[in-house]
Chains A and B, each alone.
Chain A
Amino acid sequence: MTEPMTLAATEAASPGPFEPKIVAFLCNWCSYAGADKAGAAQIPCPDNVRVIRIMCSGRVEPEFVLQAFRLGADGVLILACHAGDCHYKEGNYRAIQRHRLLLQMLEQFGIDQQRCRLDFVAASEGEKYVRVLTETVEAIRTLGPLGLGPPEAAAAPGPV
């Protein structure tokens, strides 16, 4: 057992607020363009979100999301075109359907639904892009780390 730390020592050692790691899948035509728009307008945005560009939100496999969690992401964001605006007609609808399934399943895995958000950002919606990102970062900051960690740790034996 270590000695209890003094308050000052605790503060000094405090790592600051939890900074979640978030992976965002952005469709090329609407949401990535929306993100570019936010950039062009130089709207400050939390740096916690790492963007992966895909052609269509319909490309997002549930495996991408699970793998992101496994690799240390605290949250995943899928951004799609608005209904009726999909460059590929229906990809965003498939994304919605898969997302509904995913949410249902993540719940069984004890992963809060806020950690996997699907939203819709048009090419013109730079401000919405920043808002969705900010909200997501804050929501996940409140939830705390997902802490899946390496799988070995989860499987560590212990007394009955």
Chain B
Amino acid sequence: MKTGVYLCACGGTITEKVNFEKVAADLGKNPEVAYVHTAEFLCSEEGKQFLEQDLTEHRPERVVIAACSPREIEGVFMQVMERVGLNPYFLQIANIREHVAWITPDPERATAKASALVRGAVARVGLHQPLERKELDVCRDVVVVGAGPAGLKAALCLAEAGRKVVLVEKTPVLGGMPVRYEELFPNMECGPCLLEPVMGEVLHGEHAHNIEILTLSEVVEVKGYYGNFAVTIKQAPRYVDTVKCVGCGECIAACPAATKNEFNYGLDERKAISLPFAGSLPNVPFLAFDACLRAHGEDCQLCRAACPVEGAVRYDDSAKLLERSAGAIVVAVGSDLYDCTRLPALGYGSVSGVYTSLEFERLLARNGPTGGELRLPDGTPPKSVAIVHCVGSLDEHHQPYCSGVCCNYAFKFNHLVRKQLPESRIHHLYKELVTPGKEEFALCRHAGHDPQTSFWRYGDIADLQVAAEDGHHTIRYRDTAGTSGQIEADMVILCPAMVGPESAGRLSAVLDTPPDQFGFFQELHGKLDAAQSKVRGIYLAGACQSPMDIRGAIGQGIAAAGYVLSGLAEGRKLTIDPITAAVNELACSGCRVCGSVCPYKAISFPPDKQVASVNALLCHGCGTCGAACPAAAIQAHHFASPQIFAEMEAILQ
């Protein structure tokens, strides 16, 4: 094998310790080495030009570059190789900078070690295979699951870029949680007003034709892989035709059946056919069949009779399974609140007048159960309100993390309560106060300056007890010093930890993206790729990935769209990195030792072959299956056993 070796001095920082003459002399004895050339700065523009010219002139079959870390420089030199028509995988880097010159004080030893590493690289590169990047046709459409802020923004970004989007929403309504909030921190803008323009664009904007909205729908099966997913969506019947309905609400007025309104957490009732709340979008009522008299054997047709549009109310509507193709999937299903009944001393569910923050949001909302008026269950306004922070947060017995959102909305509550009930007392019971953000502190400061607002720091939520006495509550707590205290309040608001969505288990099983230890969807990397799941082509947006506020969720929705647009770019095929595993089908017996090893489910056993098959698109090239295969039937490209053995033998000489 004619191998050209380049020794880079790295401006003298390598040659300070490594004697290139000795290394070259040592290599000169190696029959594989055609020549040894040196350069001062091989990665500089001049250096790359020199390399390009030199490679063109000498046409080596393989190239070894002894320089800095391949993690830093391999890609650069691979490009040079490609430019001169050499297979870029015919290159091996010997790291004689970070691994030799910079850590070996003795020049003689450094030189000997550098020689060994270059020897290893020469031995290895001779066995390198001419790997090729493959290209694959892809579907550029996207399925977005969840129509909260993150999902809406992702869908809209993608639609604006001309992509077809299927927006799958579990509930009958768009907007996720914030459309149910009266006002939002930090600037007290109205929640529905914030999202309505986005929803308007999604529903009837310029690019709305690119978005197919499927409400009352869930993803039940996903097959395939990045670029080519087949998604099965189950849509429950709405019994109202979303196209024909004009949203006049006549059907709602006519409906004689009522049921607890789950959109207000059962704090009031709604009709069997109804909108979740006033102003909800799409402006099309839905029929909750369980609550409908027809479900109880009656032939009530009042809603259909009241409807001015022929065929808009459809009793024959039924559940449908829909198939959609997509190149990528964006998961934006939001989060849930920590179950407050797991802290029974707080009285949630057992003591009236104790609410979760989401329930309180609805109590504050003008389209909520009380029309936005703060009322106790007996109808009177509360004289005092206790807001308990850190419920189930920062606590090893519950959730160890801080959700980073609750304090901010707790001070929003403070502001809204004060506005409505100027005379009331407000108590904040907290473990820690956390108000990140450049504008958010203002609400906190307002609360702090309010003479009618007091702050109580408790040590352990396990010591917090809410008891009802004569229509008001006594909250006992112990402060961080262990001293007991007591607060009286008419209404108690719990601010629980944000937790992974209840649906995460089911959906993550369908998507094959295991949830993290807290029940959130697990990101590929907490910082670099927080909007990517560990499965290629499945992206995460919003609070389903981690507790976050609306701004964070919307940012991630845009990020997810960005991943799709750059990864599945128009006019470009999907490139498959050749550093993957490959199966020698003759040697594979189909024993399935490798089957459970692949973290990316890239290995399958097609029934017609009965041997392992690696999907190169899903394979990330870790090589674990290659190490696991007891028949040496799986080759880890570019890290194949013979290559490793050759390198090892040479460096040990």
What's the dominant secondary structure at chain B's contact region?
A: helix
What's the dominant secondary structure at chain A's contact region?
A: mixed
- Beta-carbon contact of B622 and A71 below 8 Å: no
Closest to B626 in A: A59
Binds A, one of B27-35, B109-117, B141-149, B427-435: B109-117
- Interchain CB contact (< 8 A) of A59 among B639, B647, B652: B639
- Beta-carbon contact of B69 and A36 below 8 Å: yes
Which residues in window 57-96 of B have CB below 8 A to A? Answer: 69-72, 95
Question: Chain A CB within 10 Å — which of B99, B109, B579 has the most?
Answer: B99
- Beta-carbon contact of B102 and A42 below 8 Å: yes
Asked if B624 is at the interface of the complex by the 8 Å CB criterion, the answer is: yes
- Beta-carbon contact of B69 and A56 below 8 Å: no
Which residues in window 14-41 of A have CB below 8 A to B? Answer: 21, 23, 28, 32-33, 35-36, 38-40
- Within the complex, the shortest CB–CB distance from B528 to chain A, in Å, comes to 11
List chain A residues, Cβ under 8 A from B104: 44-45, 47
List chain B residues, Cβ under 8 A from A58: 597, 622-624, 627
List chain B residues, Cβ under 8 A from A90: 599, 624
A56-B624, A59-B636 known; A39 vs B103 contact (CB < 8 Å): yes
- Interchain CB contact (< 8 A) of A64 among B95, B579, B599, B644: B644
- Interchain CB contact (< 8 A) of B113 among A50, A52, A53: A50
- Beta-carbon contact of B116 and A50 below 8 Å: yes
A32-B71, A60-B627 known; A40 vs B110 contact (CB < 8 Å): no
Asked if B362 is at the interface of the complex by the 8 Å CB criterion, the answer is: no
Asked if A145 is at the interface of the complex by the 8 Å CB criterion, the answer is: no
List chain A residues, Cβ under 8 A from B100: 47
List chain A residues, Cβ under 8 A from B652: 21, 23, 50, 68, 71-73
Q: Count the A residues whose beta carbon is within 8 Å of the partner chain — how many?
A: 41
List chain B residues, Cβ under 8 A from A91: 599, 622, 624
Q: How many B residues touch the partner, as a band? A: 35 or more
Asked if A63 is at the interface of the complex by the 8 Å CB criterion, the answer is: yes
- Beta-carbon contact of A94 and B113 below 8 Å: no
* Docked pose: A73 CA to B645 CA in angstroms: 13
Closest to A129 in B: B103
* Docked pose: A64 CA to B105 CA in angstroms: 29
* Docked pose: A131 CA to B104 CA in angstroms: 14
- Beta-carbon contact of B103 and A45 below 8 Å: yes
* Docked pose: A72 CA to B649 CA in angstroms: 9
- Interchain CB contact (< 8 A) of B71 among A28, A60, A130: A28
Asked if B534 is at the interface of the complex by the 8 Å CB criterion, the answer is: yes
List chain B residues, Cβ under 8 A from A33: 71
- Beta-carbon contact of B98 and A55 below 8 Å: no
* Docked pose: A133 CA to B624 CA in angstroms: 24
Closest to B69 in A: A36
- Beta-carbon contact of B639 and A55 below 8 Å: yes
* Docked pose: A55 CA to B639 CA in angstroms: 8
* Docked pose: A59 CA to B651 CA in angstroms: 19
- Beta-carbon contact of A44 and B105 below 8 Å: yes
- Beta-carbon contact of A67 and B622 below 8 Å: no
A35-B99, A61-B641, A71-B649 known; A55 vs B70 contact (CB < 8 Å): no
Closest to B623 in A: A59
- Within the complex, the shortest CB–CB distance from B65 to chain A, in Å, comes to 14
- Beta-carbon contact of A59 and B106 below 8 Å: no
Asked if B621 is at the interface of the complex by the 8 Å CB criterion, the answer is: yes
Asked if B573 is at the interface of the complex by the 8 Å CB criterion, the answer is: no
A44-B105, A59-B626, A68-B648 known; A39 vs B116 contact (CB < 8 Å): no
- Beta-carbon contact of A47 and B102 below 8 Å: no
* Interface residues, chain B, with chain A CB atoms under 8 Å away: 69-72, 95, 97-100, 102-106, 109-110, 112-113, 116-117, 120, 534, 579, 597, 599, 620-624, 626-628, 636, 639, 641, 644-645, 647-649, 651-652
27 contacts between A and B (CB under 8 A): A23-B651, A28-B71, A32-B71, A36-B69, A39-B98, A39-B103, A42-B102, A42-B103, A45-B104, A47-B113, A50-B120, A51-B99, A51-B117, A54-B639, A55-B621, A55-B622, A58-B623, A59-B624, A59-B636, A67-B648, A68-B652, A73-B652, A87-B622, A88-B599, A90-B599, A91-B622, A94-B627
In the complex, besides A38-B103, A52-B648, A54-B644, 17 extra interface pairs with C-beta distance below 8 angstroms are A21-B652, A35-B98, A35-B99, A36-B95, A38-B98, A39-B98, A39-B102, A50-B652, A53-B70, A55-B623, A58-B627, A61-B626, A64-B644, A64-B645, A71-B652, A87-B622, A91-B599
**Sorted from nearest, which 5 A-B pairs have the closest CB atoms?**
A39-B98, A58-B624, A59-B623, A88-B622, A56-B622
